[in-house]
């Protein structure tokens, strides 16, 4: 493999790894803040115990998310120096804003939250957790603004004098319609992930306690967790579907070839079907061999335009169109993203999310009207399906990033006038020139190995702490005595 291919693998591995962890942090930080708010407002012990229980799990997850995020920022310069030179003028801005506006907020207030239980008053400590949660979610906004710009470059123009893309309007970048849909889609996904996490672990305990002793005092606590998590999942699930649908329609306009590939739509069709399964050579060498097996009539057309009978362009037509509009300036590129990857990742994304939402409905049904379930099948299913939204979110990222290929900055069809003011960049031209395949390969292998080892610790710690259950109630006592020690976290 050459440096380009290795750098792409490294980007993919880091991104998927980072975005397995991050959605849980995004959603759970808010859910924990809500639990703590409920405690401060109602004074009920169960809310403080839930705050501490899920808060501990949040911290275990947060540490690894931060660690992978550092690599995410610096690999643009390390592996993608030519990309950074070409777009840094505009792409660097949201990244710098993320650090300055969001990262400082989240990391400073997280420190205050962990160590501040007996130093800050209840209300101040509650404000602190909210600022942490807000910082976390703000960082998602800026990173999505940066990513959306790669999907749909706006607010920019090519400057022939400097030979790079330059910023024209920051509001267009931050208000990119691609971002405005990607952000709620990612945030609702994060709540699906976090809701599933809270409900799944809650269900495990609810059933376990209920089977051991029907009068266990902890039962209401875990029932609350199950219902809170499930309600969050249902609301988030609706949001995921709604924003996903809007995003798909926008993507048909902005990146038509990505969506045509996702649908396995080879030829231009009117009233195009949405297939659940496809066979044939999806790898792209011979798109004509693709056959759809189970298909829902007209759904692809509906996803694209909101009209079941609309005509949607297939990859063949788009490939020809792209070749004339966006000439490659070294080799002749193939404008089609990997068909198999886009087709299947799109379906797996939807499938895993739908599965998660279905278990949430089951959870709500089993705990309706004050009922308490003791079904072991349900607790097993709930625990296993904790993973589903994580996997769905990962496939979503694989889809959105792989579907952008062979571009690292996908062209913006509406900004294209005569080839001068349109900004786009092929991935092959973005890779660092100073870096050898050996160097990228070494860092890719070592980072992946380290992620894997740390991932094992992450998983085992989360499992251990989940198995430990909610801690006993202990009212935090604020101590103003200067001789009293600080609370110890480590």
Partner 1 sequence: MDLAVFWFILIGVLWTGYLVLEGFDFGVGMLMPIVGKTPKGKRVLLNSIGPVWDGNEVWLLTAGGAMFAAFPEWYATLFSGFYLPLFLILLALIVRAVAIEYRSKINDETWRNRWDLAITISSWIPSILWGVAFANIVRGVPIDSTGTYTGGFFNLLNPFALVGGLTTLAIFLSHGSIFLALKTKGEVMDRAAAWAKKFSIGAVVVGAVWALWLQLAYSNNAWTWGALVVAAAGLIGAAWFSWTGKFGWAFIANVVAVIGAVTLIFGALFPNVMPSSTDPAYNLIVHGAPGLVASSSHTTLVVMTWVAGIFTPMVLAYQAWSYWVFKRRLSEELIPEHNELKFFTKSA
Residue in the block written with tokens 């809007």: 246
Among 13, 435, 437, 448, binds partner 1 (CB under 8 A): 435
Does an H or E element contain 292, and which?
strand 291-292
Query: For residue 116, is it left (φ>0), alpha (ψ between -120 and 50) or beta?
Result: alpha
Residue 47 or 91 having the CB closest to partner 1: 91
| 437-468 helix and 45-79 helix, angle to the nearest 10 degrees | 180
User: Binders of partner 1 among 471-490, rule CB under 8 A?
Assistant: 482, 484-486, 488-490
CB of 101 to partner 1, least distance (A): 5
The strand pairing partners of 292, in sequence order, are 278
Question: For every residue of 56-118, which 3-state class applies, written as one string?
Answer: HHHHHHHHHHHHHHHHHHHHHHHHCHHHHHHHHHHHHHHHHHHHHHHHHHHHHHHHHHHHCCC
Closest CA to 6 of 426, 354, 423, 442: 442
User: Binders of partner 1 among 157-186, rule CB under 8 A?
Assistant: 159, 162, 164, 166-168, 170
Contact at 8 Å (CB) between 290 and 272? no
Among 112, 186, 236, 425, binds partner 1 (CB under 8 A): 112
User: Binders of partner 1 among 23-62, rule CB under 8 A?
Assistant: 59-60, 62
Helix, strand, coil percentages (3-state) for the chain, rounded to 5, are: 70, 5, 25
Number of residues lying near partner 1 (CB under 8 A): 81
CB of 138 to partner 1, least distance (A): 11
Among 433, 472, 475, 477, binds partner 1 (CB under 8 A): 433
Residue 41 or 460 having the CB closest to partner 1: 460
Question: Considering only 29-37, 101-109, 197-205, 348-356, which stretch makes contact with partner 1 by CB under 8 A?
Answer: 101-109
The per-residue b/e assignment along 200-217, b for 16 or more CB within 10 angstroms, e otherwise, is: bbbbbbbbbbbeeeeebe
Residue 221, token pair as written in the block: 């606590």
Among 464, 473, 474, 478, binds partner 1 (CB under 8 A): 464
CB of 9 to partner 1, least distance (A): 15
Residue 364, token pair as written in the block: 């709500």
Residue 66 or 383 having the CB closest to partner 1: 66
Among 38, 50, 98, 290, binds partner 1 (CB under 8 A): 98
In 263-338, which residue ranges form alpha helices assigned H by DSSP?
Answer: 299-305, 315-325
Query: For residue 368, is it left (φ>0), alpha (ψ between -120 and 50) or beta?
Result: beta
The reply to whether 456 sits near partner 1 by the rule CB under 8 A is no
How many Å apart are CA 95 and CA 146, to the nearest integer?
7
Question: How wide is the angle at C-alpha 12 spanned by C-alphas 11 and 13, nearest 5°?
Answer: 95
Residue 69, token pair as written in the block: 């995020």
The reply to whether 445 sits near partner 1 by the rule CB under 8 A is no
Among 2, 43, 96, 289, binds partner 1 (CB under 8 A): 96
The reply to whether 130 sits near partner 1 by the rule CB under 8 A is no
Quickly count helices (H) and strands (E) in the chain: 15, 10
Closest CA to 181 of 151, 223, 156: 151
CB of 168 to partner 1, least distance (A): 7
Residue 219 or 234 having the CB closest to partner 1: 219
The reply to whether 437 sits near partner 1 by the rule CB under 8 A is no
CB of 490 to partner 1, least distance (A): 4
Among 242, 457, 459, 473, binds partner 1 (CB under 8 A): 457
User: Binders of partner 1 among 56-75, rule CB under 8 A?
Assistant: 59-60, 62-64, 66-68, 70-71, 73-74
Among 9, 117, 355, 447, binds partner 1 (CB under 8 A): 447
User: Binders of partner 1 among 269-288, rule CB under 8 A?
Assistant: none
CB of 98 to partner 1, least distance (A): 7
């Amino acid at each position: 493999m050459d440096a380009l291919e290795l750098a792409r693998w490294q980007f993919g591995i880091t991104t998927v790894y980072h975005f397995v962890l991050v959605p849980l942090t995004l959603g759970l930080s808010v859910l924990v803040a809500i639990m703590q708010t409920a405690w401060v407002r109602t004074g009920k012990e169960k809310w403080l115990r839930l705050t501490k229980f899920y808060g501990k799990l949040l911290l275990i997850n947060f540490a690894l998310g931060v660690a992978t995020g550092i690599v995410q920022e610096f690999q643009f310069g390390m592996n993608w120096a030519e990309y950074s030179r070409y777009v840094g003028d505009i792409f660097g801005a949201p990244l710098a804003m993320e650090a300055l506006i969001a990262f400082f907020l989240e990391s400073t207030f997280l420190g205050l939250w962990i160590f501040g239980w007996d130093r800050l008053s209840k209300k101040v400590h509650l404000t602190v957790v909210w600022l942490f949660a807000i910082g976390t979610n703000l960082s998602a906004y800026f990173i999505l603004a940066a990513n959306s710009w790669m999907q749909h470059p706006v607010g920019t123009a090519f400057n022939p004098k400097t030979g790079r893309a330059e910023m024209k309007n920051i509001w267009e970048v931050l208000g990119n319609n691609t971002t405005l849909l990607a952000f709620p889609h990612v945030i609702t996904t994060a709540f699906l992930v976090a809701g599933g996490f809270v409900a799944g672990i809650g269900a495990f305990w609810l059933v376990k306690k209920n089977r051991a002793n029907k009068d266990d005092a902890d039962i209401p606590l875990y029932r609350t967790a199950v219902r809170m998590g499930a309600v969050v999942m249902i609301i988030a699930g609706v949001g995921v579907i709604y924003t996903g649908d809007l995003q798909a329609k926008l993507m048909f306009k902005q990146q038509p070839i990505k969506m045509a590939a996702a649908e396995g739509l080879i030829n231009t069709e009117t009233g195009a079907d949405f297939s659940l399964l496809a066979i044939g050579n999806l790898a792209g060498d011979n798109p004509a061999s693709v056959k759809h097996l189970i298909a829902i009539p007209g759904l692809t057309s509906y996803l694209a335009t909101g009209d079941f009978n609309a005509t949607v362009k297939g990859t063949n037509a788009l490939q020809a169109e792209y070749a004339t509009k966006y000439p490659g300036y070294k080799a002749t590129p193939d404008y089609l993203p990997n068909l198999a990857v886009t087709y299947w990742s799109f379906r797996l994304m939807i499938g895993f999310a739908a599965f998660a939402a279905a278990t949430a409905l089951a959870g709500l049904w089993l705990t309706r009207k004050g009922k308490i379930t003791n079904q072991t099948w349900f607790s097993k299913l709930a625990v296993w399906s904790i993973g589903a939204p994580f996997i769905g979110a990962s496939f979503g990222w694989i889809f959105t990033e792989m579907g952008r290929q062979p571009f690292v900055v996908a062209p913006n069809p509406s900004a294209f006038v005569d080839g001068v003011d349109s900004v786009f960049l092929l991935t092959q031209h973005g890779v660092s020139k100073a870096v050898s395949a050996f160097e990228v390969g070494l860092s890719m292998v070592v980072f992946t190995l380290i992620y894997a080892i740390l991932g094992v610790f992450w998983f085992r710690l989360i499992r251990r702490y989940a198995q430990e259950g909610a801690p006993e109630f202990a009212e935090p006592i604020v101590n103003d005595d200067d001789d009293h020690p600080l609370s110890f976290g480590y």
